Amino acid sequence: MILRPAVLALLATGALIAAALLAAALFAAAGGWWTPWAARYIQGVDVSHHQGAIDWRTLAADKVAFAYIKATEGADHVDTRFAYNWREADAAGLPRGAYHFFTLCQPGARQASNFIAIVPRVEGALPPAVDLEHMGPCREGPTMPNVIAEARVFMDRVEAYYGARPIIYTTREFHDAHLAELRGERFWIRSIGTPPSFRERDWIIWQHHNRGHRRGVEGPIDLNAFRGDAAALAAFAAGASSL
């Protein structure tokens, strides 16, 4: 059977696409960037007690330029590794920020008090972050009547204390259910494998991999891309609100 040139070209194109997808998958499995779109950005990580004992100096030397560290959850929970991670990330010279996991069944004011009681107010830290997603207590749905209003209470109080407006970590599902009407905020978007398809103009950090690998950490770690160059990251840490 003799194949026509058009058919041969189509088969060749398909083979190239398949090879590229396979290479990307193998690269990701080995701890590389999940997607080539993320590789052009400055890379960072986010961590919690789930990562165990981190060797921060080794991690900082492995293509990591910044880190977000879980500090608190709800109105009374404190991450057991926060104090260690906060101290050691700084000792390794890594720009770091703290994040709070926001639960939907406790007032924003109480959650802000928990965060403020635990996270030091230090110059040069990345802006605080608040994690808004369908997980944890009240995962079946909010008991609070207005998620945006309570989240704003949290962010307003945290901003007043630290002098920096928190950024919002969220998923597409939670955003569309509760945050679509929110304006004037900066976002940290979870979009595994593909660039963010919502808040395209508002995102500053993109979580592109949830099972990455980096030296200094046993097991998987979340990988993030910062939307900007080194100067923009420094300005972000200095509190620039236009980023």
* Tokens, residue 226: 């910062």
At residue 243 the predicted structure's pLDDT band, cuts being 50, 70 and 90, is: low
| Residue 233 near residue 226, CB atoms below 8 Å | yes
Angular region, 163: left φ>0, alpha ψ -120 to 50, beta rest = left
Which helix (H) or strand (E) covers residue 105, if one does? none
- The DSSP string of 54-98 is --HHHHHTTT--EEEEEEEETTTEE-TTHHHHHHHHHHTT--EEE
Beta strands in the chain (DSSP E): 42-47, 66-73, 77-78, 96-101, 129-132, 167-170, 187-190, 203-212, 221-226
Four-point Cα dihedral 224, 95, 184, 177, nearest 10: 40
Q: For residues 177 and 151, what is the distance between their CA atoms, to the nearest angstrom?
A: 14
pTM (two decimals): 0.83
| Nearest partner of 47 among 75, 62, 66, judged by Cα | 66
Query: How far apart are alpha carbons 8 and 151 in whole angstroms?
Result: 56
pLDDT at 138: 66
Structure tokens at 218: 């046993």
- Read off the pLDDT of residues 157-189 as tens digits, 9 standing for 90 and up: 999 999 999 999 999 999 999 999 999 999 999
Q: State pLDDT tens for residues 12-40.
A: 555 555 554 554 444 444 444 445 667 78
Q: What is the pLDDT of residue 5?
A: 57
